[in-house]
Amino acid sequence: MTTTTLRAGEPAQIIAAVPHLLGFHPGPSLVLILLRRDRPERIGAALRADLPPAEGHAALVRDLLVPLRAQDPGSVVLVVFGGGERPPSGEPPPRAELVERVTELLDREGVPVLHATWAEFSGGGAPWRCYDDPACGGTLPDPSATPLAAASAAAGQVTFADRSQLAALLTPHDEEALARRAALLDAALTREEQPDARSGLLLVEDAVARVPDRREPLDDEKIVELATALSDLRVRDAALSLVCGDRAENAETLWLELTRAVPPPERAEPAVLLAFSAYARGDGAFASIALGVAEEACPEHRLCGLLRTALEHGLSPSSVREIAADAVTEARWLLAGEGEQPW
């Protein structure tokens, strides 16, 4: 997520910034923009949930409590997208009851609501209204012309038309290619002599280093070699060190390519690395999608469970980087061997 400042008196600009905070234009949603307690003009996080039916309001409010407490915001801006037709003049916008219940939750937690707003959709020209003032409203500016859009573009971030476009980045290769690699992987993983973990990590790090200069997709042999290496959990955990620093972008490119190219269940390892990479740079939406791919490939995956818990509890990207650092330290000691220093 790109860091930017918000002006409390400009709700239309805040609403228009939401697609860039999330990485995609939301459908019918409730969005909470959490502003930092230490720097009230700065965004700490953005939480999004699908709009539930009326009988689901209480459950949604309960679900918001954990990430809200984890983030400890100083104040919040509420935005509802869709959920009903544009109300006649003088009547409250759709989902007023949901907004009231969330506002009550925030009040109990001592978190003031700066604005509670509704917009018909997230694009330029969409009508928007305030819940507490019938005279407050207008039409949204073009989201691509907001300061946050400029900051996102400068950072190389893309805002997708909807969440499905974001998910499409992880579309796997065709079934024939996956079946071919699955057979090669089965043969590689059942050999009596397996490559040692240290060599596997060096193989992964070399593949990351070659990303900027490589012009062709990975061939079957290299995909299988890398998938075999990452199937050693010591190698996978040590590779978490690549989510930070000057190799992070190259590593994420490799994890993305492998997530699409490797068949299940081995697909789970590059997918969870991709999820960690996205989360560490503040892209919770893409992290959640990548994590879903990993969970589908291997439903009982332990690291997936840990990261899913982090996502649901709203842990900050810095906290996720600390988790990765702890796993890396342990894995590299194991890789170094007893009595040796980790390299």
Largest CA distance in the chain: 75
| Sign (positive or negative) of CA dihedral 247, 249, 255, 260 | negative
Secondary structure in 3-state letters for 251-318:
HHHHHHHHHHHCCCCCCHHHHHHHHHHHHHCCCHHHHHHHHHHHHHHCCCCHHHHHHHHHHHCCCCHH
- The pLDDT value given to residue 280: 84
- Give the DSSP letter string of 13-45: HHHHHHHHHHTB--SSEEEEEEEPSSSTTBEEE
What gap in Å lies between CA 90 and CA 106, rounded to an integer? Answer: 26
pLDDT of residue 204: 95
Q: What would be the CATH architecture of the domain defined by 11-159?
A: 3-Layer(aba) Sandwich (3.40)
Residue range 73-127, pLDDT digits in tens: 899 999 999 998 888 877 889 999 999 999 999 999 999 999 999 999 998 999 9
The helix-helix angle for 57-71 and 96-108 (nearest 10°) equals 40
The pLDDT value recorded for residue 146 is 60
CB 324 within 8 A of CB 240: yes
Position 154 scores a pLDDT of: 42
Length of the chain: 343
For the chain, which residues make up each domain, given as ranges? 11-159, 169-336
Beta bridge partners of 46: 33
Task: Flag residues of the chain having pLDDT under 50.
Answer: 1-4, 8, 150-156, 338-343
Nearest to 200 by CA among 227, 224, 233, 235: 235
- DSSP state string for 136-196: -EEEPPPGGGSHHHHHHHHTT---BSSHHHHHHTTPPPPHHHHHHHHHHHHHHHT-SS---
